[in-house]
């Protein structure tokens, strides 16, 4: 039997290099496909809607893969999974066998009935800052996402070094990502996702509050939550060995008990 195939979708502001700390451990057991978000590295900008961008990402990946998304990448992975649960006749989705959501939320911005999120004002500040000074904004963002982590200073330094060595994301794509984070709300759609789902979340995540992950764990019909103590928004940095163990185990469980695609509801 061939090895499980895992697609890694990075988050806002980072390229595929975000996964570097866990790639060696994951590659020893899995076939890895690194996904560049629109406007990052070699991926061209995508002016389409959020759902269209997610569909185009899915079409580039091997059928039967597992999806692993972090932060904004997790939101895109959720959208891809909802499209699999609600297929359109004219555009049948690629079938994926499992889902891994890292630092995930179905809705990044607060709503009247959704307190487990960030304020619209935070996004407004980031939107203006990206327009004025994108590189400096990304450095500040790295410090923000590591706030509260038991190793915050070390992670911030290592990520800022990695950021300086990678191609700068397209500024328009950074703005587009912030727009997605401000407007996308998948709460009503995710309950149709029946594929096996693993949520990995830091218990000190300052961007995606832990209650959002708990909500997802309860709302998704076939999900479990693994909470990483002492970790902020990037648990694969805080506990890379534990992170890799969880991911590899989930991938192999999904291969042993393959998930049949849903027919839509």
Strands 5-9 and 223-228, bridge-based pairing: unpaired
Q: Which two tokens stand for residue 37?
A: 């978000």
| Catalytically annotated residues | 71, 205, 233
Contacts 24+ apart (CB under 8 A), 132-141: 134/168, 134/169, 134/171, 134/174, 135/168, 138/13, 138/163, 138/169, 139/163, 141/12, 141/13
154 by DSSP, 3-state: which?
A: helix
CA separation for the pair 197, 214 (Å, rounded)? 13
CA separation for the pair 69, 33 (Å, rounded)? 12
């Amino acid at each position: 039997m061939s090895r499980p195939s895992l697609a890694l979708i990075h988050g806002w502001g980072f390229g595929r290099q975000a996964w570097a700390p866990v790639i060696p451990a994951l590659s020893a057991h899995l076939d890895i496909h690194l996904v560049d978000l629109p406007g990052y590295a070699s991926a061209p900008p995508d002016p389409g809607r959020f759902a269209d961008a997610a569909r185009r990402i899915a079409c580039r990946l091997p059928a039967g893969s597992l999806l692993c998304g972090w932060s904004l990448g997790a939101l895109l992975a959720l959208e891809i999974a909802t499209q699999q649960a609600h297929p359109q006749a004219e555009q049948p989705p690629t079938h994926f066998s499992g889902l891994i959501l890292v630092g995930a939320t179905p809705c990044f911005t607060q709503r009247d009935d959704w307190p487990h999120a960030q304020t619209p004002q935070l996004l407004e500040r980031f939107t203006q800052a990206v327009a004025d000074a994108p590189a400096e904004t990304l450095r500040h963002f790295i410090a923000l996402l590591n706030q509260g982590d038991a190793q915050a200073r070390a992670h911030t330094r290592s990520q800022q070094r990695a950021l300086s060595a990678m191609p700068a994301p397209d500024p328009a794509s950074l703005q587009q990502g912030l727009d997605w984070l401000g407007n996308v709300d998948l709460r009503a759609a995710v309950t149709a996702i029946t594929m096996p789902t693993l949520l990995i979340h830091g218990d000190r995540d300052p961007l995606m509050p832990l209650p959002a992950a708990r909500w997802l764990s309860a709302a998704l019909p076939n999900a479990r939550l693994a909470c990483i103590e002492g970790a902020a928004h990037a648990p694969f940095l805080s506990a890379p060995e534990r992170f890799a163990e969880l991911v590899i185990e989930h991938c192999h469980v999904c291969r042993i008990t393959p998930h049949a695609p849903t027919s839509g509801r």
